[in-house]
A = this chain, B = another copy of it.
């Protein structure tokens, strides 16, 4: 077992994917911003958005997916063919889910994870004046499809 992003001398590199086939690849990641019930009430009327807060986080997540190669040093700059970010307010947190698709030579797990993290940070920013103790938690890949390794789903 070894880390492909490090060469035999331990130096970081962007792994060459030029021999991999271009194909449709999809990844879904999720996470949750934990906050208080009172804050959830400020963000929503029941499960409906109240004002721009959820839209702001959704846009931040979609734009964050596009910034992945700028942020993650060894990620490939690739074309993205679709990004969707879902926000589900729950009793004491907002559940975040992002699905990203490409037709390129490498998977998009990092793009999906970055979308979730940036959407979560954007929520954090909006609620921090009223809940400085909010926590972004459980940012993780749920599923990936396509590419040579095929489908992976998170074990329960």
Contacts and interface: CB of A to CB of B under 8 A. Distances in A.
The majority secondary structure among interface residues of chain A is: mixed
How many copies of this chain does one complex carry? 6
Interface of A: 1-7, 9-18, 22, 24, 31, 38, 42-43, 50-53, 55-56, 58-60, 62-67, 69-86, 101-105, 109-110, 113-114, 117-118, 120-122, 124-130, 132-141, 144, 152, 154-155
Nearest to A60: B73
A32 to B, nearest CB: 10
A111 to B, nearest CB: 10
A1 B128 CA distance: 12
A12 B118 CA distance: 16
